[in-house]
Amino acid sequence: MKKSSIIIALAALLVALGALAASLLFVPGSRMADVISSGEALVGGEFEATNQDGKRVSDKDFLGKYTLYYFGYTFCPDVCPAELQVISAALAQVPDAEDKFQVVFVSIDPERDTPQIMKDYVANFWPGTVGLTGSAEDIRKMAGKFRVYYGRAGGKEGEGKDDYLMDHSSIVYLMGPDGKFIRHFAFGTAADDMARELKNAVEG
């Protein structure tokens, strides 16, 4: 086959692939099509879980206030408590924060994090912090909605079955009173910087 024929064939293939991709992205009613046209981020959505009081709740229960979601686990030795302390310190700088914001700590280790353990744990942080746990499937689905990575890390030889750590992403998600994603805060964000952005979110 001549070189020119090969180039034409490749060009035709690229056009066909582009058309196929466009058709897949813009299937009527598809979320991806809505995101591309509206600029909405693919973070958050419907979920169900169990709170620290053993009550089943859903995303609808957290509408009406700005919500800061953080995924971690109570057995976390350092990152999780440190990040929850940063959130608490940031909110302490926001006027009327208790009326405008709520904090939701989601366990990525539901095997160990029972509602009672979550209740005792969240009591150490921002007043009214909600702890969510549930079945492994509850957490898998919710983590997927928020694009959260997590997985069990290998334990050391000789340790008990409950002596293990969890690998997970460490991101704080800010959702609006309507439940839609506003922005995220990467691990290491200072409390002062987070507070400034939270004030900006409320002030619009």
For the chain, the structural domain boundaries read 3-38, 48-203
pTM confidence score: 0.78
97-to-59, 87, 94, 102 alpha-carbon distances in Å? 20, 11, 5, 8
131 vs 74: CA distance, rounded Å = 10
Going residue by residue through the chain, which has 204 residues, state the pLDDT in tens, using 9 for 90 and above.
444 443 334 333 333 333 333 333 333 333 333 333 445 668 999 999 999 999 999 999 999 999 999 999 999 999 999 999 999 999 999 999 999 999 999 999 999 999 999 999 999 999 999 999 999 999 999 999 999 999 998 655 445 567 899 999 999 999 999 999 999 999 999 999 999 999 999 997
Domain 48-203 belongs to what architecture?
A: 3-Layer(aba) Sandwich (3.40)
